[in-house]
Amino acid sequence: MSVVESRWLRRFASAEGSKLQLICFPHAGGAASAYLGLTRALAPDIDVVAVQYPGRQERRLEPALTSLTHLARAVAEELARAPQRPYAFFGHSMGAVVAYETARVLAEFDLVTPRRLILSGRGAPSTEPRASDRLAGDAALIAEIRRLGGTGSRVLDDPELLEMVLPTLRADYAALSRYRWLPGPPLDIPLTVMVGTADPVVPVDDARGWLAHSTRPGDLLTFDGGHFYLDTRLPSVAEAVRTLLGQPTRV
């Protein structure tokens, strides 16, 4: 699968000659640009393409989707139109669920699936929403974003920026609160789970639960840091991704 840029997909660095693509799924409230740092860290060996959900950045005038399964199906349809080439998925937080559900859709319709799923900062799916996903009102939503930290939480101190991002956050958390995992066959794809050791909403054991959703052997990698350990441990994360995808590490 050789993904080209579209309204759904963004590329931030040239990786001409790369034989492998990494398709990245952002967190709640996040946009494709959340993967700018990882893109630069992996280029030019791995071609990183980030998914751009509706309702943010250049798609800000489009209504955000409030169903993660509908979002996954839309992404799967976009990817199904691309020519075949080896690729993998990386999803962080809400993006881990979207990446997983997208892989399920591709497998359901016997389409080319990713060679690996890297699922970060999210506990294994369940038939009921997590308490951290059920937030009543903007005050609770803002408090949760502050608790999670990360560079994105800085916009909460700017009233104008906050007004811009709140609709997207509301829609994404509505989608999370409505998401219900539906039982089905496990994926025939290796899973790697990543989590910060001090994540306030994802205990390591909850993250480990993802491994039961594949028939293949998987692994769990922990990093020092909280929910957005990706920001503070980027070099370590990039090296881990290189190793997982069979690319040489950088000296």
236 is catalytic: no
Partners of 51 in the beta sheet?
Answer: 9
Q: Which residues of 110-125 are buried (b: 16+ CB within 10 A; e: fewer)?
A: eebbbebbbbbbbbbb
- Check whether the bond before 167 is cis (ω within 30° of 0): no
- CA distances 71 to 8, 30, 188, Å, are 11, 14, 22
Query: Which backbone phi and psi does 106 adopt, to 5 degrees?
Result: -60, -40
Token pair belonging to 189: 């794809």
Query: Which backbone phi and psi does 90 adopt, to 5 degrees?
Result: -135, 125
Choosing from 93, 120, 132, 177, which is the catalytic residue? 93
**CA-based nearest residue to 170, from 198, 142, 194:** 142
Which residues form the catalytic set?
A: 93
